[in-house]
Amino acid sequence: MPSEAILDPIARLLGEWSSDLTLGAVILRVVLSLTFSAIIGCERSSKRHAAGLRTFMVVSLACTVSMLADLFLRATYGISLFVLSAAAVIGIAIITVNCILYSSRSQIKGLTTSVGLWACGILGLTVGVGFYTVSLVAFAGLLVSLSLFPRFEHYLKNRSNHFEVHLELKDIACLQNFVTTIRELGMKIDDIEANTAYLHSGLSVYSISISISSQELKKYKTHTEIIEALRTLDYVYHIEEMS
């Protein structure tokens, strides 16, 4: 990268060496990539997600190195296509898709972690190209999104008019009783789907979409309180909200 094109504020502050492919710049970018990804990986590991510290670090490092290699090829051989960086992004996309799992309760698992892993890879690319300011802002945004926003998201979901539950009944004949109870509480059932994974368990298991129609419930009750009340029904073996 030509030294006269120092447009990044942090690079301008550090000096021309940080924008060129000098040894110091390469070391700085690798260290930043590992540091950012380690912090994000620690946040994921603390919540016991499958993709943790090492996974995030390796993905970010691979993207940073691929970007550095592409910059070197462009500066040395005039290759304008960022082939290695593109390959890295495609590889991460494949990995993240494989991180998404569907549980026996029809719940999607690992979606946030897989997207976070993909975003961490993109962050590694921005670090590798020397966009220090963009990388720092993106890192802060990604960390805040993963660590702080889940609480706010949970608050919004807990008070929405629609939610889905995993329901286990002691007998299939109890389903009509459950539907009647839901209606009496001021709610309506949008969809009922039998869960075949529990076919030979002795239980009748369903995924049920529920809408709150009662203004009283909308104003005073959260999903948690509604589910706690439904859990006290004699014929309900287990019930929980699906994320």
- In sequence order, the 6+-apart residues with CB closer than 8 A to the CB of 109 are 100, 101, 102, 103
The per-residue pLDDT for 53 is 84
The per-residue pLDDT for 4 is 41
The per-residue pLDDT for 112 is 80
pLDDT at 2 over 50: no
The per-residue pLDDT for 103 is 53
For residue 118, which of 44, 186, 184, 46 has the smallest C-alpha distance?
Answer: 44
Alpha-carbon distance 139 to 204, whole Å? 46
Can you give the pTM of this predicted structure?
0.73
Burial class (CB in 10 A: 0-12, 13-18, 19+), 17: middle
The per-residue pLDDT for 111 is 78
% of residues, the chain, pLDDT over 70: 91
pLDDT 10s digits, 50-64: 567 888 999 999 999
pLDDT 10s digits, 69-103: 999 999 998 888 899 999 998 988 888 777 666 55
Strands 108-109 and 204-212: unpaired
The two structure tokens encoding residue 85: 């960086």
pLDDT 10s digits, 194-234: 888 777 777 899 999 999 988 888 777 889 999 999 999 99
